[in-house]
C-alpha cells in the first residue's frame, strides 16, 4: 500500500482476552480442570447441564478474578450476579453460557505498557468478568460426524476487555504480554497460549486521521499466539483501508484468522447474531464481597512486575533493559530480590544474572527455579570480584561453573583450590615490577621519552611472571610509579 494512502488512516484496536483460571476444579462443580485427559472424562451431570442439576460456585474463581482486578487497579464490584447468555452450539451443552453481563466483577482499571518510542502509557480497561469455557468440537480426518469433548466445558475463565484505545500491533502485543506476565505472577493462569489457556480476540477498525467517530469494527476471533495478533492486525488494517479507498463499507462482523495463510475471513455479521437474551441466572445466588474477604485477598497479593520494574530503575539505579529482563518472570525476580538483599552492588548482580547465570540456564535448558546455586553463594562470588580477590574473567569463566558443580564448597575455598586468587600484595608485585624495569632499560627510556603505549608490554610481562594472578589495577599503578 502506498504510504500516502496508509498515512490518511489511523487504526483503533480493542482486545478481549480470555484466561483460563488454574483452579483444580471447574467453576460450578468438582470436575477436574486438568488439560490433556481422554475426551469426556472430566465431566459430570452438572458440566453436561442435565435438567434438574444445580451449579455451585467455586469460591477460588471469585478470588482469582479479584486478584487480577486488584493488579489492574480496577474497582471491585461488591454485589454481583451471574447472567445466562443464550445461544445454541453443540459445544455448549446447557444451551447457554453462564457469564456476567451487567455486574462484571471488575470495572475500569488499566494495564501500563512500555512504548516503542520510550516512555509508558496506561491502556484503559473496560471490565473483567467471570465466565465458563465451552467444550470443544473436533473435526477429525476420516470421521463423518463432528465429535464433541466436554472436558473443557465449565473450566473457569476471566475475560479482560480493553477500551478501544490501542493504536497499533506493537501496543496490542505488549498489552497481551503484560497480561500474560500478570496472570503468571498472580499464579491464576499458566498463560500458555499454545494450549489455549489464554486466547485473544482482536477488535479492529480504521478511521481517517483526526476523525471523532470510531469506524465500524471487525472482530478477529481466538488468536492463539502473540505473533498471530500482529499478523491479524496487519492483515485487517490493509483490508479495511483498501475497502474504504474503493468506496466500500466495512461490515461489523466476526472474522476467523487462518494461521497458515495469515488471512482473515468473514464468519458472521454482528447485526444478525447479537441477540443473546441475557438474563440473571436463577440457579445461582448473588455474591457479596465483604470488606473482610477483600482484605484477606489483598493480603495474598505478590509484588507485581511493574512495581519491581520501577523499583529496580528508581531505587537500584538499573537501566530499563535490566529491569525488564529481571522482572520477566516471577521466579527470576524472586532470585534477584534475594540476591539484592545480600549484596548491594545491584548493577554487578544484574550483570551476573543477565550474563553468566542466563547463559548457564540456556545452555543446560533449565529454569531459574531449578537452578541449584543459591543467591547466597552467587553473592559470595560477586563479593570476591568486588574485592579484587578474583578477576571477573576468572570468576565468570572458571569459578562460576565450579561453584555450581561443587555444592558444598564456598566460593573462596574454591578460588583458593583452583589457584584463582588475584595477587594485590604490593610487596610481591613491586619486586616483580622492579625486576622487569631493570631488565628492559631501553624500553624504560623510550617510555620516559613519550612512548606511553609501552605500558601494555610491561603489564603483559608482569602478568606473565605472576602467572596471570596480579591484580591489574594494583599492577598498573605500581608500574607507572616505577617507570616514572
Ligand atoms: P460488542 O458489542 O461488539 O461486543 P463491545 O462494545 O462490547 O462490542 O466491545 C468489545 C471490544 O471491542 C472491546 O474490546 C472494545 O474496546 C472493542 N471495540 C469497540 N468498538 C470498537 C471499534 N470501533 N474499533 C475497535 N475496537 C472496538
Ligand atoms: Mg463483546
Say how many Å lie between the CA of residue 391 and the centre of ligand 1: 58
User: Is there an atom of ligand 1 within 6 Å of 241 CB?
Assistant: no
340 with 361, same domain: the answer is yes
Q: Is residue 148 part of a domain?
A: yes
394 with 344, same domain: the answer is yes
User: Is there an atom of ligand 1 within 6 Å of 217 CB?
Assistant: yes
Whether the CB-CB separation of 323 and 309 falls below 8 Å is answered with yes
The yes-or-no verdict on residue 356 having pLDDT over 90 is yes
Residue 206, classed as helix, strand or coil, is: strand
Final residue belonging to a domain, choices 253, 269, 293: 293
36 with 173, same domain: the answer is yes
- Residue whose CA lies nearest to ligand 1 atom number 20: 164
User: Which stretch of 315-329, 365-379, 432-446 has the lowest confidence by average pLDDT?
Assistant: 432-446
312 with 230, same domain: the answer is no
Cα–Cα distance between 337 and 436 in angstroms, integer? 47
Average of per-residue pLDDT values in the chain: 93
Q: Which residue has the cell 516512555?
A: 119
- Tens digit of pLDDT for each residue in 203-237? 999 999 999 999 999 999 989 999 999 999 999 99
User: Is there an atom of ligand 1 within 6 Å of 16 CB?
Assistant: yes
Say how many Å lie between the CA of residue 15 and the centre of ligand 2: 10
Q: What is the predicted pLDDT for the residue at 273? A: 59
Ligand 1 atom having least distance to the Cα of 215: 23
- Tens digit of pLDDT for each residue in 31-57? 999 999 999 999 999 999 999 999 999
% of the chain at pLDDT higher than 90: 77
Q: Is residue 144 part of a domain?
A: yes
pTM of the model: 0.88
Ligand 1 atom having least distance to the Cα of 270: 3
Whether the CB-CB separation of 186 and 65 falls below 8 Å is answered with no
312 with 276, same domain: the answer is no
The secondary structure of 381-411 as a DSSP string is: HHHHHHTTSS-HHHIIIIIHHHHHH-TTS-H
269 with 173, same domain: the answer is yes
CA end-to-end span of the chain, whole Å? 69
Mean pLDDT, residues 72-80 taken together: 98
Find the CATH number of the domain harbouring 463: 1.10.10.410
- Residue whose CA lies nearest to ligand 1 atom number 24: 205
343 with 249, same domain: the answer is no
Cα–Cα distance between 289 and 291 in angstroms, integer? 7
Q: Is residue 298 part of a domain?
A: no
CA of 164, nearest ligand number: 1
383 with 470, same domain: the answer is no
Say how many Å lie between the CA of residue 181 and the centre of ligand 2: 24
458 with 479, same domain: the answer is yes
- Residue whose CA lies nearest to ligand 1 atom number 8: 203
Ligand 1 atom having least distance to the Cα of 162: 14
Final residue belonging to a domain, choices 293, 320, 344: 293
Q: Could you list the residue range(s) of the whole structural domain that residue 450 is in?
A: 426-483
The yes-or-no verdict on residue 382 having pLDDT over 90 is yes
471 with 346, same domain: the answer is no
Probe target for ligand 1 pocket from 102, 166, 217, 274, with the most ligand atoms within 8 Å of CB: 217
User: Is there an atom of ligand 1 within 6 Å of 254 CB?
Assistant: no
Mean pLDDT, residues 114-127 taken together: 95
Nearest Cα neighbor of 279 from 135, 131, 99 is 99
Q: Which set of grid coordinates corresponds to residue 288?
A: 457479596
Final residue belonging to a domain, choices 293, 313, 345: 293
- Residue whose CA lies nearest to ligand 1 atom number 14: 14
Q: Is residue 117 part of a domain?
A: yes
158 DSSP β-pair partners: 19, 130
441 with 411, same domain: the answer is no
Amino acid at each position: 500500500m502506498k504510504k500516502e494512502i496508509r498515512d490518511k488512516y489511523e487504526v483503533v484496536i480493542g482486545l478481549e482476552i480470555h484466561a483460563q483460571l488454574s483452579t483444580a476444579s471447574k467453576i460450578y462443580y468438582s470436575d477436574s480442570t486438568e488439560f490433556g485427559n481422554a475426551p469426556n472424562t472430566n465431566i459430570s451431570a452438572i458440566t453436561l447441564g442435565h435438567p434438574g442439576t444445580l451449579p455451585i460456585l467455586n469460591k477460588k474463581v471469585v478470588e482469582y478474578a479479584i486478584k487480577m482486578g486488584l493488579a489492574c487497579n480496577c474497582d471491585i464490584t461488591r454485589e454481583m450476579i451471574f447472567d445466562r447468555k443464550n445461544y445454541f452450539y453443540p459445544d455448549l451443552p446447557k444451551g447457554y453460557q453462564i457469564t456476567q453481563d451487567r455486574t462484571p466483577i471488575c470495572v475500569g482499571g488499566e494495564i501500563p505498557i512500555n512504548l516503542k518510542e520510550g516512555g509508558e502509557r496506561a491502556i484503559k480497561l473496560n471490565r473483567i468478568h467471570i465466565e465458563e469455557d465451552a467444550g470443544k468440537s473436533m473435526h477429525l480426518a476420516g470421521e463423518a460426524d463432528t465429535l464433541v469433548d466436554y472436558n473443557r466445558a465449565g473450566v473457569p475463565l476471566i475475560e479482560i476487555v480493553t477500551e478501544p484505545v490501542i493504536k497499533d500491533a506493537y501496543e496490542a502485543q505488549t498489552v497481551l504480554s503484560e497480561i500474560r506476565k500478570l496472570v503468571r505472577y498472580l499464579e491464576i493462569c499458566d498463560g500458555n497460549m499454545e494450549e489455549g489457556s489464554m486466547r485473544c480476540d482482536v477488535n479492529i477498525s480504521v478511521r481517517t486521521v483526526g476523525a471523532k467517530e470510531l469506524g465500524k469494527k471487525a472482530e478477529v476471533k481466538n488468536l492463539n499466539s502473540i505473533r498471530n495478533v500482529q499478523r491479524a492486525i496487519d492483515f485487517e488494517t490493509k483490508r479495511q483501508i483498501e475497502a474504504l479507498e474503493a468506496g466500500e463499507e466495512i461490515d461489523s462482523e466476526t472474522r476467523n484468522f487462518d494461521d497458515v495463510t495469515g488471512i482473515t475471513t468473514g464468519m458472521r455479521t454482528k447485526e444478525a447474531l447479537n441477540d443473546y437474551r441475557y438474563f440473571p441466572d436463577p440457579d445461582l445466588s448473588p455474591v457479596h464481597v465483604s470488606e473482610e474477604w477483600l482484605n484477606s485477598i489483598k493480603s495474598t497479593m505478590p509484588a507485581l512486575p511493574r512495581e519491581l520494574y520501577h523499583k529496580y530503575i528508581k531505587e537500584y539505579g538499573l537501566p530499563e533493559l535490566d529491569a525488564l529482563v529481571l522482572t520477566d518472570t516471577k521466579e527470576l525476580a524472586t532470585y534477584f530480590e534475594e540476591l539484592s538483599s545480600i549484596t548491594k552492588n545491584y548493577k554487578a548482580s544484574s550483570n551476573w544474572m543477565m550474563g553468566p547465570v542466563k547463559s548457564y540456564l540456556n545452555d543446560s535448558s533449565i529454569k531459574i527455579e531449578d537452578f541449584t546455586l543459591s543467591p547466597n553463594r552467587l553473592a559470595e562470588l560477586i563479593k570476591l570480584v568486588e574485592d579484587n580477590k578474583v578477576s571477573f574473567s576468572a570468576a565468570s569463566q572458571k569459578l562460576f561453573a565450579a561453584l555450581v558443580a561443587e555444592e558444598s564448597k564456598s566460593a573462596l575455598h574454591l578460588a583458593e583450590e583452583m589457584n584463582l586468587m588475584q595477587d594485590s600484595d604490593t610487596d610481591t608485585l613491586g619486586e616483580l615490577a622492579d625486576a622487569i624495569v631493570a631488565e628492559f632499560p631501553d624500553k624504560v627510556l623510550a617510555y620516559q621519552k613519550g612512548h606511553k603505549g609501552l605500558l601494555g608490554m610491561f603489564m603483559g610481562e608482569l602478568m606473565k611472571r605472576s602467572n596471570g594472578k596480579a591484580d591489574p589495577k594494583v599492577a598498573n599503578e605500581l608500574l607507572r610509579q616505577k617507570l616514572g
